[in-house]
A and B are shown apart, each in its own frame.
Chain A
């Protein structure tokens, strides 16, 4: 065991000392944090305020324009020509002209700008005016905003699962789907990324001929298992650093810019017609806030419906189990061939089951308790990805135990198989290896 530990130590240290490991470790979280941060930044960040002067010939709408984000409205009592002159002097960036005929003919509306028009400002103005026009038309038809509001009937079915013991659980399929897909995909990436590192490591030892020196000191099995575990530890380390750094970067960014992450309620509810009474307005706002609270509450409830201890434990198990199963096969391939180009013919049967489980994940997620989902989550070659997709939806413990047992048996079987190919393969040079040849190596005692 001591020598295996020495091998694991070398495999681990030699990889994490590489520059590529450092680069990947830093770039990974930056990319992942970027995926979270950049959209927030894009939505909020602008170099300066964009001021829009409003020339309202109708004098109806001037109250409707409230500043939002970095768009600032300036009500102007002057005519359009004067406003345009002031714009040219640099007093503001754009001029919105609402002519008398605007209500009847919205096409007469104009937004003038000295530079190219700010897209957000244009959208905001359009949005505000559309709502104003709608309210006016509704009022003209004798329907006030309150009546309109009362026609809105939100339909949101509560999905309830009745467990075997009679307990009722509210289901939130959207949350389960997200969690399942993300964890299944992470396992897929991990298997591919680090499985192929095992292959390259074995091939390196074979091609630079150090392997015969090493196997005169340790058994080939120790060398193989040491490499698989060493690379696996590198993968786990990198993964943990990624998770922690991603949370750290997002967290620090969030603390530095708390405003950016605040929930901005829907425009539609808050910008109401100026025709409404302020009491009604208040009531609508209250309703909106209530709805938002319910949404947040549902999200929390949905998350709490997920059995996180089971989820996290299974993720760690399938993450490691799936890697061990495939890494042994990758090691066997690396030992059987003489150079990287020859690996292709043997890669196919190993990569097909992983790819297949990723493709089937779309199907499984639409029916996570169906027979296809069941079988794919039992078979060790597909279970690491498929079972992780099923678990957030709730999986009977019996099935979970069966799947776990079979995966353990599976990676023990592939390791045994790989060891038999490996010990013959690493000392075999200059031979074109076929499947028939591999089969003989396996049978050969």
Chain B
């Protein structure tokens, strides 16, 4: 798979602290890439460097196979976390202005805008002032402005803050649609639920350093601790006596004739062996591997331990 954006060994110092320390990130083409990290980790600095708002002290950013240059501004759409509009300016005029700054022009621009306005039910507000719009509608307008010039790379910094659930869904669908149409999306957020739902790849930045990067599936696999959950019926022998060495019973609980159990398997054994051991003594209703959620991985990476470790092992 090709990479649309490669951040190569970026270091950025502010006067009192190092905001980014030798950070490299590779964003695959046509993916939704989650840029994760706690507040103050350096995400916004990295995003500003990609947008060429500020420059790195060391390292290079490549867009496609070329070093990032001012010409690439037209191929990037950016929705900052702290976002606003000219309150006294008319909605349509404002959209036209910001689109022109992205290099769009001519009668095609107005048509394009009208298409998006219709799609987001904003058309009746074309001649109204921005301050007359509700907060949700202002965010829709900002979304339109971000994607209007059909950029190859879209950067959303906390895009869902301030949206109601209906609009969150609308925006999520739009983001997936944009990817389908060929765009690559960088998506910075704290909301791990939406990360699992939307992202293909993630990078986790903590204390100015990248601590984790890869596809979601791979990362979860890497962080799996070989914990399996079983539902068993008609169990006729205590589990402790069935399991051989290398298989640890972490938890078991009978309930209405069913037994729910969690078993950790060490590295030498496979889940298939577990099933083989159990089959003679019970009817297996369900069997699944318990991979840690992105939320668990995030917290583990940042704080050093799983939030649910106690319950898992106890």
Contacts and interface: CB of A to CB of B under 8 A. Distances in A.
Given A14-B89, A440-B15, A215 B84 contact: no
Given A217-B73, A427-B53, A444-B15, A212 B82 contact: yes
A208 B101 contact: no
B258 interface: no
Given A213-B78, A215-B53, A6 B15 contact: no
B98 A217 contact: yes
B271 interface: no
B73 A216 contact: yes
B97 A10 contact: yes
Interface string B79-112: 1101111111100000001101111000000000
Given A14-B89, A217-B73, A427-B53, A212 B80 contact: yes
Nearest to B53: A215
Contact of B80 (A208, A213, A219): A213
Contact of B86 (A210, A427, A444): A210
Interface in A1-17: 3, 6-7, 10, 14
Contacts of A10: 97
B101 A218 contact: yes
A91 interface: no
A6 B83 contact: no
B86 A6 contact: no
A204 B54 CA distance: 21
B53 A6 contact: no
B51 interface: yes
A213 B83 contact: yes
Given A209-B83, A427-B53, A216 B76 contact: yes
A14 B90 CA distance: 10
Nearest to A426: B53
B83 A212 contact: yes
- Name the interface size band of chain B: 20 to 34
Interface in A193-217: 204-205, 208-210, 212-217
Give the contact-size bracket for chain A: 20 to 34
Interface in A124-168: none
A7 B102 CA distance: 12
Interface in A208-256: 208-210, 212-220
Contacts of B78: 212-213, 216
Interface string B57-72: 0000000000000100
B142 interface: yes
Nearest to A223: B101
A17 to B, nearest CB: 10
A216 B51 contact: yes
B263 interface: no
B135 to A, nearest CB: 13
B129 to A, nearest CB: 11
A6 B85 contact: no
Contacts of A216: 51-53, 73, 76, 78, 80
Contacts of A209: 80, 82-84
Contacts of B83: 209-210, 212-213
A237 B102 CA distance: 29
Contacts of A215: 53
Contacts of B88: 14
Nearest to A222: B101
B210 to A, nearest CB: 23
B297 interface: no
Interface in A361-402: none
Interface string B134-148: 000000001001000
A6 B100 contact: yes
Contacts of A213: 78-80, 83-84, 98, 142, 145
Nearest to A441: B15
A209 B54 CA distance: 17
Nearest to A14: B89
Contacts of B87: 208
B16 to A, nearest CB: 10
* A204, A214, A215, A429 pick with most chain B CB within 10 angstroms: A215
A220 B98 CA distance: 15
Contact of B53 (A14, A212, A440): A212
Contacts of A208: 84-87
Contacts of A6: 97, 100-101
Nearest to B98: A213
Contacts of B84: 208-210, 213
A426 to B, nearest CB: 10
A215 B82 CA distance: 13
Nearest to B131: A208
A318 to B, nearest CB: 33
Tell me which of B15, B51, B79, B80 has the highest count of chain A C-beta atoms within 10 A of its own C-beta.
Answer: B80
B155 to A, nearest CB: 9
A19 to B, nearest CB: 11
Query: In this complex, which of A204, A210, A215, A216 has the most chain B Cβ atoms within 10 angstroms of its Cβ?
Result: A216
Q: Taking each of A208, A214, A220, A444, which has the highest tally of chain B beta carbons within 10 Å of its own beta carbon?
A: A208
B288 to A, nearest CB: 44
19 contacts: A3-B103, A6-B97, A204-B86, A208-B84, A208-B87, A209-B80, A209-B83, A212-B53, A212-B82, A213-B78, A213-B83, A216-B51, A216-B53, A216-B73, A216-B80, A217-B73, A217-B98, A440-B15, A444-B15
Given A209-B80, A212-B82, A427-B54, 7 more contacts: A212-B78, A213-B83, A216-B78, A218-B73, A218-B101, A427-B48, A440-B15
Interface of A: 3, 6-7, 10, 14, 204-205, 208-210, 212-220, 427, 429, 440, 444
